[in-house]
C-alpha cells in the first residue's frame, strides 16, 4: 500500500507540473493570452495557501502552492509586460 505522504508528493508534482506547459507556451510566445482574472486569482490563492501551509508546517502543501504561485506569476508577468504583442 502506498504511503499517504508519497501520495501527497505525487499530487504535488502533478499539480505543479500542470503550470509548466502554459508557462513554456507563454515564454516562447512572449505574451500570455490566458484570462487575467484567472491568473491573478490563481497567484493570490496559491500564495495565501502557501503561507497558510508554511505556518502549519505542512511542507507538501507549502511546496505545492509555492510552485503553483511561481507558475501563475510567470504568466501574470507576461500578461502585463509582454515581450511581443498577441496576434489577433
Q: What are the structural domains of the chain?
A: 4-80 (1.20.1280)
Which residue's entry shows cell 503561507?
51
The answer to whether residues 86 and 31 touch, using CB atoms and an 8 Å cutoff, is: yes
- CA end-to-end distance (rounded Å), the chain: 51
Distance of CA 42 to the CA centre of its chain: 7
> CA-to-CA distance for 52 and 75, rounded, in angstroms?
23
% the chain with pLDDT above 90: 36
* Residue-level pLDDT at 5: 79
Confidence of residue 9 (pLDDT cuts 50, 70, 90): confident
Taking a C-beta distance cutoff of 8 angstroms, is the pair 19, 59 a contact?
no
Q: Give the pLDDT score at 7.
A: 82
Q: Supply the pTM of this predicted model.
A: 0.74
Per-residue model confidence as pLDDT tens digits over 46-62: 999 999 999 999 888 89
Rg for the chain (alpha carbons), in Å? 15
Amino acid at each position: 500500500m502506498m504511503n499517504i505522504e508519497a501520495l501527497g508528493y505525487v499530487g504535488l508534482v502533478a499539480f505543479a507540473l500542470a503550470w509548466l506547459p502554459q508557462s513554456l507556451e507563454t515564454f516562447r510566445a512572449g505574451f500570455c493570452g490566458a484570462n487575467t482574472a484567472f491568473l491573478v486569482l490563481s497567484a493570490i490563492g496559491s500564495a495565501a495557501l502557501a503561507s497558510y501551509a508554511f505556518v502549519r508546517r505542512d511542507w507538501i502543501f507549502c511546496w505545492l502552492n509555492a510552485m503553483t504561485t511561481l507558475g501563475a506569476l510567470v504568466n501574470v508577468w507576461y500578461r502585463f509586460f509582454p515581450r511581443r504583442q498577441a496576434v489577433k
